[in-house]
């Protein structure tokens, strides 16, 4: 038996926790099938390259000579969405985002063809001399987000990365399906993705702004919309870790 004060405390704790958790209906399908775009069979790859500080300019020039060639060659079923250097966040880092129209078969086909491309192999060998570390992820795009398309710029880009608690991806998607309408007024929403291979339960939101002050003004303006506060209130407890990168497009980037 519990003493009355113990039962009271447990009731109070349960009520307090309920403020931060909103239940979602049980699902019997993978969240990738429930949250990804059905009409498009797009797969994305994001690459993070940590470059030796003294090699960053040479690295950029090397990429500018190779990546647009792959993007423009019709034999490769892939498109360079954007390529950036991190301005604020992890320093001396390059970020590349690729789209594979046709999903995993397109990815496999491109990788097999690149293995036969001597120019690409030479590029990769030279690139390896300039890197300290690299990692990548395969991503799907949320059905309710824009497809990232080339922009004229000039813009700065923010990549906000969220490591979610396992099992909360559908709940996150439910809230952001409504929240994205609050973040379209200045055309700042570029793309939203969730991981399939690599670090799992990870979400990436990509935003474009004129400058840092425009970013501040746009983010503050979202709080004037009824419902934005609720989205923040209920999604913050779903996050284990979050990170923001401010990125500058390189000359080779379709997203300027």
pLDDT of res. 182: 83
Per-residue pLDDT reduced to its tens digit, 74-104: 999 999 999 999 999 999 999 999 999 999 9
pLDDT band, residue 26 (cuts 50/70/90): very low
Average pLDDT over residues 139-163: 94
| Cis-peptide, bond into residue 78, ω within 30° of zero | no
pTM for this structure?
Answer: 0.86
Q: What is the mean pLDDT of the chain?
A: 88
Give the pair of three-digit tokens for residue 150: 């080339």
Q: What is the distance, to the nearest Å, from the Cα of residue 181 to the centroid of all Cα atoms in its chain?
A: 18
Tell which residue, 223, 222, 81, 65, has the closest CA to residue 146.
Answer: 81
Per-residue pLDDT reduced to its tens digit, 205-232: 999 999 999 999 999 988 888 888 888 9
Lowest mean pLDDT among 36-50, 125-139, 167-181, 206-220: 36-50
pLDDT of res. 222: 87
Using the structure block, give the residue that is written with the tokens 């990546």.
67
């Amino acid at each position: 038996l519990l003493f009355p004060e113990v039962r009271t405390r447990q009731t109070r704790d349960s009520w307090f926790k309920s403020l931060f958790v909103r239940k979602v209906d049980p699902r019997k399908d993978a969240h990738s099938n429930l949250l990804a775009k059905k009409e498009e069979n797009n797969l994305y790859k994001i690459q993070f390259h940590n470059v030796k500080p003294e090699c960053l300019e040479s690295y950029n020039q090397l990429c500018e000579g190779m990546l647009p060639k792959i993007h423009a060659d019709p034999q490769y079923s892939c498109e360079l969405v954007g390529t950036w250097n991190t301005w604020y966040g992890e320093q001396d880092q390059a970020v590349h985002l690729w789209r594979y129209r046709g999903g995993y078969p397109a990815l496999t086909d491109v990788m097999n063809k690149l293995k036969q491309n001597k120019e690409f192999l030479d590029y990769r060998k030279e690139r390896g001399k300039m890197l300290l570390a690299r990692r990548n992820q395969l991503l799907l795009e949320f059905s309710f987000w824009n497809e990232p398309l080339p922009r004229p710029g000039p813009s700065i880009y923010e990549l906000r990365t969220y490591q979610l608690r396992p099992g909360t991806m559908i709940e996150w998607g439910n809230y952001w399906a409504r929240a994205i309408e609050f973040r379209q007024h200045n055309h700042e929403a570029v793309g939203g993705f969730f991981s399939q291979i690599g670090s799992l339960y990870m979400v990436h939101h990509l935003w474009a702004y004129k400058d840092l002050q425009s970013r501040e003004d746009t983010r503050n303006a979202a709080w004037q919309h009824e419902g934005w506060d609720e989205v923040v209130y209920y999604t913050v407890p779903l996050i284990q870790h979050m990170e923001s990168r401010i990125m500058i497009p390189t000359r080779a980037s379709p997203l300027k």
